[in-house]
Amino acid sequence: MKRLDNKWALVTGSSRGIGRAIVKALAERGCNMVLHARTLAHLSSINAEITAMNVKTHCIAGELSTQAGIDAIIAGVKAGPGYVDILYNNAAVSNQSTPVFEFSAAEWLRTFQVNVFAMAQLCAAFGPSMRERGYGRIVNVTSGIAGQPDLAPYSASKAAVDKYTKDLAVEFKDSNVLVNHIDPGWIKTDLGGPNAWEEVSSVIPGMLVPVLLDDKGPSGRFYAAQDFKGL
């Protein structure tokens, strides 16, 4: 098993669903965890579980929907370990099914704020120091959603995630900061809903693949977690 001892990882949306599964899988490999949720109270359960695994934890809270919340997340990391080796941009929002021409400008902005703008700010906050230290793994969670105009803001935001990931991979070309994007699949979470095809447990080990890449490995690549289901 490839270990991540002494590394620090920030997983946005750590308290439940896919984020919680990623946190537990990273901690099992010895990774220290910066746990994030909207409020610190939401982290009590996962923090207790991870602390029992003999890794370090640091809890931070902040809404990705507001600049103040993003600033709080960045300040929280700096007040804790001071940096992260792994940035996992997992947290996202979706939309209520709506006729495509009826989405308000506010709904488009809300979706892009959380799914794209916040992600880009976190990459900007922590990516350059990864390059300085000679190691970094940035993973942006995307989606395979297609043919659903009733969820157009979510779909378009994930297309923006894909393009930004590829651009960032070029920025970090020839460094050991690897930037990749991954689709977990349609998962039974608060975002995916009860009719989704897969259980949360199916995303592991796939969601770890872009974190565990060898030094100077692939960057700007798309992965599908379900391709690794059952391994």
> Can you give the pLDDT at residue 196?
62
Separation between Cα atoms, residue 152 and residue 161, nearest integer Å: 14
DSSP classification of residue 5? T
Show the CA angle centred on residue 30, arms to residues 179 and 121, nearest 5°.
35
What residue spans of the chain are helical by DSSP H? 17-28, 44-51, 67-79, 105-112, 118-133, 152-171
Q: CA distances (Å), 57 to each of 53, 64, 74, 142, in order?
A: 10, 20, 16, 26
Residue 213 phi, psi (nearest 5): -60, 145
Domain boundaries, the chain: 8-228
Q: What pLDDT sits at residue 197?
A: 62
Q: What is the mean pLDDT of each run of 10 residues along the chain (231 residues)?
A: 94 96 98 98 97 97 98 98 98 97 98 98 98 98 96 98 98 97 84 72 94 97 92 72
pTM of the model: 0.96
**Positive or negative torsion for Cα 13, 19, 20, 25:** negative
Give the residue numbers marked as catalytic.
154
CATH T-level fold of 8-228: Rossmann fold (3.40.50)
Specify the DSSP class assigned to residue 118. Answer: H
